[in-house]
Amino acid sequence: MKDVVRSERGNASFYLIWFIVISGFLLVFLFNVLNLFGKKEQAAIAAEQAAMAGTDVLLQAVYDGVEQFDFQTAEGIARTLLTGDTLSGRLSKAKQAYVSAGTPAPEARLKAFNKVLEEELSSTSPDVLGWKAALEESVRRKLDDAVDRELKGTVKTIINSNAGKLTRDSEVALDRGRVAVTAHAEYETRVFDTLIPFLKHDVPYKGYGPELKFMDELGWSIHDKKLAAFP
């Protein structure tokens, strides 16, 4: 009888230990999965914020190119004399009209650029005195300068400030008129590496900025055009 009791107690202890081990395994697994999703969200925030910042860099470069066209080219000066307004002035007025209608300033700026520049650069609009070609040249030059000097550093700063990570796979691209940034977040826990292959250590995410519709008219937008890469 005593042997039976000892055997039952032994079995109960064994099952209890086994239950504790399995429960611990499941808790650790759940923790790692939740940690993975948290890191993915972190990478998403970093990529999306960086894409927005990259878009701002390009918009400022476009505006600088428009101002250069207005005041430093013969075609731009001639256009102002004929139309009675600079192109940069038209952009400012369009933005203010959107703001007055209740559109937030950043969105109003984007809408103004898309509307005005699409109209100015459209293939169906007349190219009086060659000012369309002069405008395109000024804006493209400023865009190229911004990509070379500012875009990469701005994106890097935003990703780092949002606890993101840059790897060899990180890049900034122009995809169908939208700035696309690929960022990563580091997943530090190394439990279950061999058992759970989808628990990667560098969690990637691609974030997109708003569409710059006028880029197609400008001829600077190329699908999957890589603007910057990181070592």
Rounded (5°) CA angle 142-72-60: 30
Q: Where are the domains of the chain?
A: 2-229
More confident residue, 181 or 125: 181
Percentage of the chain modeled with pLDDT above 90: 45
Mean pLDDT of 103-114: 96
| 127 or 87, which is more confident | 87
**Position 57 pLDDT exceeds 70:** yes
β-strand partners of 179 = 174
- CA atoms of 139 and 136, how far apart (whole Å): 5
Confidence class for position 130, pLDDT limits 50, 70, 90: confident
Residue 143 has a pLDDT of: 94
pLDDT digit string, tens, across residues 23-52: 666 666 565 555 555 566 777 788 899 999
- Encoding tokens for residue 186? 């580091």
Q: 156-164, long-range: CB within 8 Å, 24+ apart, which pairs?
A: 156/230, 157/53, 158/46, 158/49, 158/50, 158/53, 159/46, 159/47, 159/49, 159/50, 159/183, 162/42, 162/45, 162/46, 162/49, 162/50, 163/42, 163/46, 164/42, 164/43, 164/45, 164/46, 164/47, 164/50
What are 162's two structure tokens? 């949002």
Q: Is residue 199 within 8 Å of 36, Cβ to Cβ?
A: yes
What local confidence, expressed as pLDDT, does residue 162 receive?
A: 82
Phi/psi for 135 (5° steps) reads -65, -45
What is the arithmetic mean of pLDDT over 124-145? 87
- How confident is the model at residue 196, as a pLDDT? 52
pLDDT for res 2: 46
Strands (E), the chain: 171-175, 178-186, 202-208, 225-229
- Higher pLDDT: 200 or 51? It is 51
Q: For the chain, give the mean pLDDT.
A: 81
Which residues lie below 8 Å from residue 112, measured CB to CB, with a gap of 6+? 91, 92, 94, 95, 97, 98
